[in-house]
Structures are given as structure tokens and as C-alpha cells.
Chain A
């Protein structure tokens, strides 16, 4: 896999990266304008079934972008994990959408189209933009009154293939077919209610529909890469890091970061539930290997300054987990060197270590016997950093900035 997304800031500097976004915005504004989206009467006609330009443009843009995104993802050119997928807050989204629908038919624009309209000197567009600013201002002042609702019905990164429990390719083809049906419906309505002299139905649209459907079916046949495929693509490079022990961090390095207020440590404990209950690091997240893939999208939504550290009893299971997460492009993932056993050897008190050590423990099993399942109430779960200040280690963590997109259009 090539580098995705392009490291624009590294390549071009901050200003260069912003210039790229400026060019993308330029293309966006230009396209909206040539489609007629700067004209409120044309947009509003959508709701009287006279001119279905809004539906046609939006749905054709969605299906074209969609088939290209999932085809390139299937071919390994683009990593779907690193694409910004708007997290689902179901009810705020629906209520906000209804309010916007009302605003659309009352005012004649949506925010993007009003910008284009204002840029072409339409007075109604300019006034609408002022209204948008006022609405945004009102929101900023009032959201505090119902903060709870605004954050409610959060479902994280939730996608249609997950909702329907279907293969991504099947959903892609299904959306294409649904869009084609919507176009047929739109044309039927336009012929019935619209001004026939103004409408054009070019013959090539059938070929275009066939082409998009063909790309969709190709996407379905190619399939999306599995975790194993993704690991295979990066294995030579990443195996080397494992062998050089570049990603196994000393317990003291983890403890130091746990006490660093600028860094969020996210400890992932992949052991069995009984081991986890016996003892685990403070605030560790219990995620067995089998359910690790299901948490990837949540891990991607953690803040930029999150350090993920995987623990098993020794390192075997943790290394497997590391491969899974690295293949899914989760940033800043490390393995606790020596696992929980290494942690206890470093931070457990001497008496405990002498009494509880199991000399012939199998690999990746607990090396210490716990009299009680104390979990994180056991003292070594949260050692006092100052007591162990002298423990020496080689620092290995290099925090990288997320490669993926960090926010959507909501900025």
C-alpha cells in the first residue's frame, strides 16, 4: 500500500497543505455553480417535483465517489480506516436534518450552495449566508442548554455494511441500484410536473449508469481487504520493527507516560477474563484478541495524543494483537515489554514476588499466583512513579500525528 492519505503537511508544509484544500474547495464551488446550485429557485423546484436537479446531482455525486472509494480501497490504494466517516449521533442528526429541510424550503439554499450564490452576487444568497452565521451563533450560545441531547444516541463510526450485516460490495451495488431507481423516479416526476422545454435527458446517461454499475460490481468482485491481507502488505517492514524490538516498551516507559498529563495512555489487555480479574493495570481496557477487530473504529476515534499499549502475560498474544492493530493503521501502538509478568517483576513488592512466583509457568501465562482476584486494586496496578524513578530504560515511543482524517465537514 502506498502512503495514504498523502502526508500533505510533510510534503508541502502547513501552507502548502492548506493550498491543496483551497484548490479542492475551488473545484467544489465551481462544480456547484455550473450545476445551477447558486440559484435558489432551481434548488427549491426540487420540492415541487418540477426540477429534480438537487436529487440527481447529489445522488450521482454520491454513487460516483462511493464506487471509486471502495474500488480503490479494494485494490489497496486507499485505507478505509483512515477516511473520515462521520460518526453517527442518530437523533441529533435526524432532528438537525429536519430543521435543515425546513430551512432549505424556506430559504432556498443549504450552506454550501448559499456560499456559491453569494459569490455570484445573488442578494438572496448573501442574506441567507448572514442567516447561516446567525444560526450558527445561536447554536453556539444555546447548545449548553441541551448538551446531553446533542451527545446522545452516539454509535461511533457506524456504516451501512455493519447495519445490514452485509458485504461492503453488496451494499455498494445496492446503493447504485437504489440511486438509478431514484433517477428514473425523478425523470418521471419532471416529465409530469416540470417545464418540458427546460429539461434535457441526454441519451448517454444510460451508458454512464451502466459504467457506474459496472464499477460497483467490479468492487463487489474484488472485495475489501481483510486484516490478513493488510498485514501481508506491510509485514516485511513491520516484522523488522518487531525483531529490532522497536515497539516493545519497558514497563518504566509506560509508567512514565501514565503519569504524563499530556499523553493519554490506553492500555489494551488481551488476556483471558480470569487473568484480567486476577490483576490488571489501572484503567486497562479488557479486549480479548477475538473481539479486537471490532474495536478498531473506536480506537481510531481516540484523541491524537493517545498512546496504545498492548499487554498479555508475556508478549505472544500482545504481538498478535499488535499486528492486527498495525494492519488496521491504528497509530502509536506499542507492546508492553515482558507483558504483565515483566510489569510485576519491575513493580511488584519483593515479598509478593518471592512468595507467589511460579517457576515453571508456560509461555504467556501468569508467572505469579494471586491469592485473591483484586484486579486493579492490587498495589502494583498503579505504582508510585517517584518510588521507581531510578529504573533505567531506553525510550522507544515516537508519537506520530494521525495520518487519518481527524474531523469531517463539521470541522
Chain B
């Protein structure tokens, strides 16, 4: 426990969804852009890569677009959305008494295996998100709301992939 605040329950899903929808609409209405997460994380990573191995960044086409030569990978709106997401998540966690150092997991899995799976799952997510040119936020949520065909196909694929494998990893969760 890092705070003395009482842990408050989460809001009803529909409340969360409606508020999220209004935030998404506001983003589009004010800026023309939707929301995103993996793009910002991508650029934060490239900063580190450019710092450690600029010669490498200058030779890989995918990285040149973001950080080749004098380009600053932080010079993009999505980076600031990502930084804001961190701050907003932290603030809400603090306000609602949910800042806790803990590992969320199912009852039948060890901490070590849970963390191994978290890392593996994260790796797959990061890889898939770049392959699909966006994650659940940038593709499914934002693209879905503006009726992009590719975003809807993507969204169905994410659910399909999750449901297809869920049975085989049930020990991790239930």
C-alpha cells in the first residue's frame, strides 16, 4: 500500500465506454487524429536506439522514417498522447486508491510464470501492433469509430486470436 486511500470500485463498463467515446470524439474533433499507444511507445524506444546506435538507425529504412539524420522521434503528437496516458493512469490510480505494487494473476499460476507470460505476451503484442500498423487503441478503437475496413478486420482478428488460444492458457487466468 503506497497510499492510505480507500480502494474504490471500477465504474460500470458502459460508463467507461461512454466517457472513452467522448474522449475519442474530442480527440478527433480537436485534432483530426484519434488515440494511440503503440506508436508513442515505438518512438520512445527509437529515442533509445538512436542514442545507443545512431549508425544503425540511419541504415534501417523503418527507423530512418522516425529518427534518420536530424529527425527527432519525439517530434510527433502520438508521443505526447502516450506520455499523457501514463500521467492519467497514474492520477486515476492515486485518486481511487489503486496504486499498489502487486502482480495480478490467476489463482493457479506462480509469480515467475505470470511475469514470463507477461513478457512473452508483451513481445507478441508489440510485434503484432507494428505489423498491423496500430494497436487496440490506434487501429481498433480509433479506426473502428471512423469506419475503416482494415480496422474492423483487425479488431475481429484480435478477438479471434484471443478466443482461439484462451482455452490452452486457462491455467494462467482461472
Contacts and interface: CB of A to CB of B under 8 A. Distances in A.
- Size category of the B interface is 35 or more
Contact of A111 (B33, B120, B137, B159): B137
Contacts of A183: 14
B80 interface: yes
Contacts of A37: 16
Contacts of A46: 162
Contacts of A100: 124-125, 128-129, 132, 135-136, 157-158, 161
Contacts of B70: none
A366 B143 CA distance: 45
A101 B83 CA distance: 25
Contact of B30 (A24, A28, A56, A93): A24
Contacts of B155: 97
B88 to A, nearest CB: 3
A323 to B, nearest CB: 23
Contacts of B100: 120-122
A59 B147 CA distance: 13
A102 B173 contact: no
B13 A123 contact: no
A36 B164 CA distance: 24
A33 B89 contact: yes
Nearest to B87: A26
A227 interface: no
Contacts of B115: 123-124, 127
Interface residues of A, number: 142
Nearest to B120: A106
B170 A112 contact: no
Given A48-B166, A50-B174, A119-B93, A17 B62 contact: no
A379 interface: no
Chain A CB count within 10 A is highest, among B119, B129, B164, B169, for B129
A17 B77 contact: yes
Nearest to B164: A101
Interface string B120-154: 11111111111111111111111111111111111
Contact of A90 (B26, B150, B170): B150
A36 B10 contact: yes
A202 to B, nearest CB: 6
B163 interface: yes
Contacts, number: 595
Nearest to B101: A121
Contacts of B15: 35
Interface residue SS majority, chain B: helix
Contact of B37 (A22, A83, A112, A155): A112
A263 B131 CA distance: 30
B78 A30 contact: no
Interface in B46-60: 46, 49, 60
A29 B85 contact: yes
Interface in A257-296: none
Contact of B90 (A69, A82, A119, A132): A119
Interface in B87-118: 87-93, 96, 98-106, 114-115, 117-118
A167 B74 CA distance: 40
Interface string A30-51: 1111111111111011111010
B31 A109 contact: no
Nearest to B166: A47
Interface in B1-48: 2, 10-43, 45-46
Contacts of B150: 86-90, 93, 155, 158
A158 B147 CA distance: 8
Contacts of A137: 45, 49, 126
A242 interface: no
A131 B119 contact: yes
Contact of B20 (A8, A61, A72, A103): A61
A409 interface: yes
Contacts of B135: 100, 110-112, 409
Contacts of B90: 29, 119-120
Given A28-B84, A29-B92, A411-B43, A65 B28 contact: yes
Interface of A: 4-6, 8, 17-42, 44-48, 50, 52-53, 56-66, 68-69, 72, 77-78, 80, 82-90, 92-125, 127-141, 143-144, 147, 150, 155, 157-163, 168, 171-172, 175, 183, 200, 202, 205, 208, 403-405, 407-411
24 contacts: A21-B80, A28-B85, A28-B88, A35-B15, A57-B13, A62-B141, A64-B24, A69-B25, A87-B150, A88-B151, A92-B132, A97-B128, A101-B164, A103-B124, A103-B126, A108-B172, A116-B85, A117-B89, A124-B118, A131-B119, A140-B130, A143-B130, A410-B36, A411-B79
Given A85-B146, A87-B150, 12 more contacts: A28-B137, A65-B21, A90-B153, A103-B126, A114-B122, A120-B99, A121-B2, A121-B101, A124-B118, A158-B148, A408-B142, A411-B43
